[in-house]
Amino acid sequence: MSTPDHERPVILSCGDPSGIGPELAARAWEHFGARLPFVWLGDPAHLPRGTKIREIAQPSEAVTHSGSALPVLPHAFPAAARPGDPDPENARAVIDVIARGVDLVMRGEGSALTTAPIHKKALKDGAGFAFPGHTEFLAHLAGVERVVMMLASSNIKPPLRVVPATIHIGLSEVPSTLTPQLLRDTVRITNAGLRADFGFTMPRIAIAGLNPHAGEGGAMGREELDWIRDEIASLRAEGFALSGPLPADTLFHDRARSRYDAVICAYHDQALIPIKTLDFDGGVNVTLGLPFVRTSPDHGTAYDIAGQGRANPASLIAALEMAARMGAARHG
């Protein structure tokens, strides 16, 4: 039996303890207190000295204790955390914490999972981590074949939610990787996520063209004419509220954003440059298509400033807030 909704906090996995994750967790608790209970899953010794903590045995206890201390579900690590200098001995524990966080939310003990940043190379070198990143590992743990990455703003109006259909590949690979099946899958998963986790009954989704000016009638590329336009029409006939293909250079200003709830872009930079320009500190990484809610801050481990107290907690705060709202929408 899962924990009652009002006793399910957000689970925050610690990420790389040598990065900025621990100090951001402490500052996020200072920001929220009892207003948004969350549980930090990691080694208490890795948190900044002086952080008020309360070690707990199960996530539901966070609701009681978050007003006076940061609730911590202890997970022992073999080595100390040296800011900016990841210890290979800790790599396996970082991976295990992610898996433990997934287990907690899938068993209904947490409303959502927020993940602090990891360093993929450090995990690969220290523990043979076999995944490109968090997202692929989470999909593996959940037994899901296809997930979608969304970046969502928290500080701008109208809001911006972007989905890159292709992600970490070279630009030359995008035209062959962006297939009708990939676009269909991305539309369906995005639509389902907007309905389940953001509360839209009929999500409006814009589709950016692959080429400049969406091909300009074939003068700047033919993919829009050859198949993208027809694929959008077919999906629209199935009942999806789609527009496009639209020129990406006029898709992100205020008036344009008011006409859609999310935009699916052809490739990584087409999606991420606008949101990082418009809301650099408030962007949240959301994984759609999982059987649980997952968010993360839109930045990395920042080894260069770790342990110096200079890291901005805004993105982690936004990620926790968004996770709580999405968890309430999904479970409500």
Helical H runs in the chain? 21-32, 62-65, 91-106, 120-127, 134-142, 174-177, 180-198, 223, 229-237, 254-257, 268-278, 314-331
> What is the helix, strand, coil percentage profile of the chain, to 5?
45, 15, 40
- Please indicate if the annotation marks 119 as binding a ligand: no
Tell me how far apart the alpha carbons of residues 282 and 83 are, in angstroms, rounded to a whole number.
Answer: 24
Q: Is 135 annotated as a binding residue?
A: yes
Do residues 292 and 102 make contact, with C-beta atoms less than 8 angstroms apart?
yes
Residue 294 counted as an annotated binding residue: yes
Question: Does 168 carry a binding-site annotation?
Answer: yes
To the question of whether residue 134 is assigned a binding role by annotation, the answer is yes
CB atoms within 10 A of CB 307: 18
Phi, psi for residue 172 in degrees, rounded to 5: -65, -20
Q: Is residue 330 a contact partner of residue 196, using CB atoms and an 8 Å limit? A: yes
Q: What angle (nearest 5°) sits at the alpha carbon of residue 279, between those of residues 278 and 284?
A: 135
Tell me: is residue 299 an annotated ligand-binding position. Answer: no
Question: What would the DSSP string read from start to end of 20-63?
Answer: THHHHHHHHHHHHGGGS-EEEEE-GGGSPTT--EEE-SSGGGHH
* 115 in a known ligand binding site: no
Rounded to whole angstroms, how far apart are CA atoms 163 and 150? 5
Q: Starting at the earlier edge strand, list the strands of the sheet with 284-288.
A: 53-55, 70-74, 38-42, 10-13, 112-115, 294-297, 284-288, 148-152, 161-164, 262-265, 204-208, 241-246
Q: Which residue, among 286, 293, 328, has the nearest Cα to 101 in the 3D structure?
A: 293
Annotated binding residues, written as ranges, equal 134-135, 168, 213, 268, 276, 285, 294
- Annotation: binding site for a divalent metal cation: 168, 213, 268
**Residues that constitute the known binding site for substrate:** 134-135, 276, 285, 294
